[in-house]
Structure 1
Amino acid sequence: MTVPTVKLNNGVEIPQLGFGVFQVPDEETTAAVAAALEAGYRSIDTAAVYGNEAGVGRALADSGLAREELFVTTKVWNADQGYDATLRAFDASLDRLGLDHVDLYLIHWPAPARDLYLDTWRALEKLAADGRIRAAGVSNFQPAHLQRVLDSSGLVPAVNQVELHPGLQQSELRAFHARHGIATEAWSPLAQGAVLADPAITAIAARTGKSPAQVVLRWHLELGTVVIPKSVTPARIRQNLDVFDFRLTEQDLAAIAADDRELRTGPHPDLFD
């Protein structure tokens, strides 16, 4: 099975459906990533603050897959923001991953009270210019944060990874991304399960013979979103990838659109430091 890709604004292609390891302990991460790679995932998303980059690296090394077959994302944490600190943090992440480059490096949060994300972005510009990252992006940035980056830099973020699911559809932010050529990537794509019992979702699942989670992941794909579901259960890992043999109707999409209700499972980016 071939997972479709999304072409980023610098020409790099990212698999549209990847595998996330948020909240997976390092000692469980290697087995989870190995199961994902065996199932057919080729995009793995981690972060320094998750504490499991080493576990991801072990799974990648043990997989036998060529490096060019893999798409690896990691992120710089808030406490490491700033130009020099970000470069040091990146070196540490590479060491833990056992890699010589990553495919996508993200500023994990804007952390506006620190007001260091523009300096941090300059570090990502250098990493991109040096060929140590294939694409530079951000995570949890609001339109105002993105606009400051655009106004200060010639490098447009390739990706903004944000909380996105039927309960928090981020329409204004996605429209900003579309205007500026920034790919939207969804974390917490299932709202940690909070949307799976929504009537619109369960009705579509019953009609299509798919699980509610598969319906929500299909919704993300049809929006054009890059999506990174997480699981440590091999059967669920495989099921989350089995979403390419059905489509949603216009009525389905309209019913899910009506589910939008500002439901956040994580902090608001303007307030989190």
Structure 2
Amino acid sequence: MEYVELNTGINIPIVGSGTNTFGKVNHDYMGEINGDTTELLEAISLGYRHFDTAIAYRNEAVVGRAIKESGLDRSEFFITSKIPGTEAYYQGEQDVQNGVEASLKALDTDYIDLYLIHHPWNDLEGILQVWKVLEDYVDKGVLKAIGVSNFEEKELTYLTDHARIQPAVNQIESHPGNWNADIIEKSFKLNVIPEAWGPLTRVSDEAKAVLDEIGASYNKTWAQVILRYQVEQGIIVIPKSHNKERQAQNKDLFDFELTKAERERIAVL
């Protein structure tokens, strides 16, 4: 596994696992929580140590349970969670505190490696006030790093201009058809590491054909080519699979390197 150093000095595995349908009936995002830790334990057995969850996913407790069931020390893992950018969580300081404390309780941990504001809302000063509460938790050592998700340039720049503790990560959608290159470039310029959610989603058959052609010479799948393309840029990726074989493939990215010409072909997909 390779790591990225955040602006806090903390190292984060550059490949993690998304979890938004784990521990749910029929692997449905809106499905009832059934507490099944199978996919999480399979991922852990393959060497995954970076897991991404959120209050909105309703399954933080499933992630926490899997970590306990693994028998590995909590320090072996890098856990990301997120507080919703919805009114119930940002009306006042106590609402933010309630969200953080709920995440800690559900994950059954006394600290979280990375905690994000899940979505921005139309109130830059309000976002900053939530951020200040999260900064206090960093001061206490409860949140090791803080960041944002789905922030565009306007929100991200305002926050970096006014924050006491700079955001470490901006988690954004990035995949063929929507690489989000502009906000990725802006994030890097602000010393905020971009992290790709849904990196293997909504890939057209035409794009898969190009990616398969590129991957053939490396004995890699179209999905591995997508992930490698982003990893080579220093972007953290959090693919997700319920299949153990594909979980293994999604982290098997470090024994090949794309050429300049291949990267140029992928960039226009």
Q: What is the TM-score when the length of structure 2 is the normalising length? A: 0.90
- Give the structure 2 partner of residue 58 of structure 1: 65
**Corresponding letter in the other structure for 1:21:** T
Q: Does 1:81 align with 2:79?
A: no
SS of residue matched to 1:203: helix
Match of 1:227 in 2: 237
- Residue 265 of structure 1 corresponds to none
Give the percent of matched residue pairs that are identical in Structure 1 and Structure 2: 38
Partner residue of 1:270? none
Q: Please point out which of 65, 78, 90 is paired with 1:71.
A: 78
1:248 pairs with 2:258: yes
Shift of 1:64: 1.2
Question: What CA deviation, in whole Å up to 9, does each residue of 1:124-179 have, x standing for no partner?
Answer: 11111111011000000001001111222221100000001232122221221122
Structure 2: distance between partners of 1:238 and 1:196: 25
After TM superposition, give the deviation of residue 104 of structure 1 in Å. Answer: 0.1
- Aligned residue type for 1:233: N
Question: Match for 1:38 among 22, 36, 45?
Answer: 45
How many equivalent pairs are there? 257
Q: Which runs of 5+ in 2 are unaligned?
A: 25-32
1:238 aligned counterpart, secondary structure: helix
Moved over 6 A (4+): none
Maintained 8 Å contact 2:160/2:190:
no
1:23 to 8, 16, 21: 21
SS at match of 1:116: helix
Quote the RMSD (CA, aligned, Å). 1.7
Higher RCO structure, 1 or 2 (CA under 8 Å, sep 6+): 1
- Conserved 8 A contact 1:190-1:196: no
Letter in 1 for 2:90: Q
The structural deviation recorded for 1:215 is 0.9
**TM-score when scaled to structure 1?**
0.89
Structure 1 unpaired stretches of 5+ = 260-273
1:58-207 equivalent positions in 2, closer than 5 A? 58-79=65-86, 80-82=89-91, 83-112=93-122, 116-194=126-204, 197-207=207-217
